[in-house]
Amino acid sequence: MTKNITTQIIINTPPEKVWNTLVNTDSYSLWNPFIKKIEGVFKIGNTITVTIQKNKSSKMVFKPIILNYVKNELLIWKGKLLFKGIFDGEHFFKLIDNNNGTCTFIHGEIFSGFLIKYFDLSNTKQGFELMNNALKVYCEQKA
C-alpha cells in the first residue's frame, strides 16, 4: 500500500535561485517553517539528518539516504521508520524551468509500508504547503 502527497507552486524567480536556497540548508532557519534543519552533503548514496517540526508539534528527526541529485532540477531522499517496509518515505523536490524567469516547484513524498494505513498525512501535506509558500516568498524577496 502507498500514499502520495504532491504539492506545487510557481515561484517568480529562475530555478537556479530556488535551487540555491534549497541546498543552502544553513539558511533554513530564516525561512523554512517545516524542515528546521538538514545536516550532511547532498550526494547520491549519502545519509543526511533531517529535522522537521510544524508549528509547536514535536520534532521528528530521521536519517534518509540521497537517491537522486540533479543540480537545479531534482533532489530525492528515502527514509524509513525503524526498518525498511514498516513506514518508508521517498521525499522529492523537483524544479521545472518555465522558460520565462519563473519555475514550478514540485514537492512531495511517496509513503509505503504496512503501517501506512494507520497514518493521517494531512499534517504532512500542510507542512509541505507551508514550506512551499515560505520558499516562494523568500526567493521572490531576494530576487
- Distance from C-alpha of 6 to C-alpha of 13, rounded to nearest angstrom: 21
Enumerate domains of the chain plus CATH numbers.
Answer: 2-142 (3.30.530.20)
Q: Which helix (H) or strand (E) holds 35?
A: strand 35-39
pLDDT for 34 = 94
Query: Is residue 82 predicted with pLDDT exceeding 80?
Result: no
- The number of CA neighbours under 13 Å toward the Cβ of 59 is 9
- Distance from C-alpha of 64 to C-alpha of 57, rounded to nearest angstrom: 21
Task: Name the CA radius of gyration of the chain, rounded.
Answer: 15
pLDDT tens, residue by residue, 14-61: 999 999 999 999 999 999 999 999 999 999 999 999 999 877 778 889
pLDDT tens, residue by residue, 91-141: 999 999 999 999 999 999 999 988 888 888 888 999 999 999 999 999 999
pLDDT for 108 = 98
| Number of other residues whose CB lies within 10 A of the CB of residue 81 | 15
Cell numbers placing 123: 499534517
